[in-house]
Structure 1
Amino acid sequence: MDVSNIVKRINELFNITNEEIYSKESGLTYHADKKVKKLGYSVNLTLDTIEEARIQGVDMMVTHHDAWGELYELKEACIEKLAEYGISHYYNHLPLDDCDFGTNDSLLKKLNLEIVKRTHEWEGLYFGRVAESDEKIEFNELVNRMVNLLEEPVKFWRFNDKKVKRVGLVCGNGAPTDCLKEAVENGCDVYITGECNLSTIQYAQFKRINLIIGSHTFTELFGIESLALKLNENIKELEVVRLNEGHYEVNN
């Protein structure tokens, strides 16, 4: 299938209310101008994921993140490598955080939590959620669910002794305290995200809300996986594979 047709199929999955914002937050970064038989998905576009795509014989990559601009010279290096290998690349960022099959909704579904509110609005897109458990659960049980789901250790801080009923979530980077503040204002017992810093922890301690911090990559994996699997359902001749990404472990 042509790359342009795959991008068209992707766009049809989204309720696009603002074309300008959608085009700024998604799109093709490299078109190899060849038919796509095998598509690979990952959260990040890096030289390592491109190499993984080459090894797996992928014709097109679909990722949640483009190469970050602040990682100086990485974007140019990725485009050069994609051209060398003849691999097309498409990314979808905030629209995938917002949609009902994306990063936040997919993670909450796997945690067996029911979404009650879309939160953290930017330009008409909502990159956070409030969800609830049918029954109150122990905080440690929720931590264990996260560990088993992400298949990696998570950081957690317990700042209250309540069982968990209501959860605030921002997949990826919800470290800013204004993100946490919205979870507090929504009466959440625990806040889950993929990044934190000292102010995140101190504000959670001040507001007595529990914290669970996974990684930016693996809190968002299930959203891009969901997008890829939808393509697989809609385009029967398309083979879809996951491109493995390493776990980044920070040693303090």
Structure 2
Amino acid sequence: MNIKDFEKTIQQLFGEKLLEEEDEYGFTYTADKEIHKIGYATNLSVETVELAIAQGIDLMVTHHDAWDFIYGLREACAAKLAAHNISHFWIHAPLDFVDFGTCTALMKILEVDEINAYSTYSEADGELPGIAEFAAPVEFEQLAGRMRSALSEPVRAWKNNDRPVKRIGVLTGAGHSSALIREAAERGCDTYITGEATLYTIQYAQFAGINLLIGSHTFTEIFGVASLAEKIAEIHPDVEITELEESHFELNH
């Protein structure tokens, strides 16, 4: 597979509509060579680039670009990528809102029985969480334990009602907005799951009586990146995929 083949595969997997916003995906650096090994991670960072170098990666695929407000990071990463002739592609919003993406992948990891709605975005409504149900209700602590095991990290948990968990709302990563929690509650969810929390997130969930489970931004989203990498490998079976395993650096709250 070469870069052109990879671009066609992204078009095939996401479709025209999800790729309309061209500032939500792209290449940081493209190397002129065949792609035999893809390394995937949630974040583009100096650390993940160094993992790619050590593992002989030809193409990095991440959910996040280097954020503009982490000053100088993109330039540092681009320089390392160029020095070692490694391509890098990132895809943000389209991966959040595709039917195999970040929210769906986490819901499946949590062993839901039915996905009622995928996470979506529109100009009229903004972001909306994914909604899923368990056929048989599970105890809140059981679900929290399931999430801790899947993410391999502590998960902060607030039990704000006395019911077992039946219906969950999920928006991975920075889904801390109280408006998103209100949307989940209004759609009958007893539990809301995301990857970041502020004072307002916690207070509103308590006020609204909806349980809250908070993992890290990185590890609530890694399953969606893995899902994308697996789909690329299905289309190009000669390409090897491997996770660039990030540390749990967000845990020092």
- TM-score w.r.t. the length of structure 1 is 0.95
Q: CA deviation at 1:119?
A: 4.4
Q: Is the contact between residue 98 and residue 126 of structure 1 (CA under 8 Å) also seen in structure 2?
A: no
- Quote the residue 2:32 is aligned against: 33
Q: Is the contact between residue 40 and residue 60 of structure 1 (CA under 8 Å) also seen in structure 2?
A: yes
One-letter amino acid matched to 1:6: F
CA distance in 2, matches of 1:7, 1:156: 40
One-letter amino acid matched to 2:24: E
Tell me the alpha carbon deviations over residues 202-226 of structure 1, each in whole angstroms, 9 at most, x when there is no partner.
0011111110000101111111101
One-letter amino acid matched to 1:224: V
Tell me the alpha carbon deviations over residues 70-112 of structure 1, each in whole angstroms, 9 at most, x when there is no partner.
1111111111111111110001111111111111111111212
Structure 2 gaps, min length 5:
none
- Quote the residue 1:116 is aligned against: 116
Q: Is the contact between residue 117 and residue 129 of structure 1 (CA under 8 Å) also seen in structure 2?
A: yes
Q: CA deviation at 1:62?
A: 0.5
Q: Is the contact between residue 103 and residue 118 of structure 2 (CA under 8 Å) also seen in structure 1?
A: no
Q: How does 1:141-220 map to 2 (within 5 A)?
A: 141-220=142-221
The alignment's C-alpha RMSD in Å is 1.6
Q: Is the contact between residue 120 and residue 182 of structure 1 (CA under 8 Å) also seen in structure 2?
A: no
Structure 1 gaps, min length 5:
none
- TM-score w.r.t. the length of structure 2 is 0.94
Aligned length: 251
Please tell me whether residue 238 in structure 1 is matched to residue 239 in structure 2: yes
CA distance in 2, matches of 1:151, 1:162: 26
Q: CA deviation at 1:118?
A: 3.1
Q: CA deviation at 1:19?
A: 4.6
Q: Segments of 4+ in structure 1 off by > 3 A?
A: 122-127, 249-252
CA distance in 1, matches of 2:220, 2:119: 17
CA distance in 1, matches of 2:42, 2:26: 15
One-letter amino acid matched to 1:185: E
Go from structure 1 to structure 2 and tell me whether the alpha carbon gap of 1:120 and 1:178 turns closer, same or farther (over 3 Å shift). farther
Q: CA deviation at 1:198?
A: 0.6
- Quote the residue 1:222 is aligned against: 223
- Quote the residue 2:91 is aligned against: 92
- Quote the residue 1:48 is aligned against: 47
One-letter amino acid matched to 2:220: T
Q: Is the contact between residue 120 and residue 179 of structure 1 (CA under 8 Å) also seen in structure 2?
A: no
Tell me the alpha carbon deviations over residues 11-57 of structure 1, each in whole angstroms, 9 at most, x when there is no partner.
21113226531x22112221112211111111110000000000000
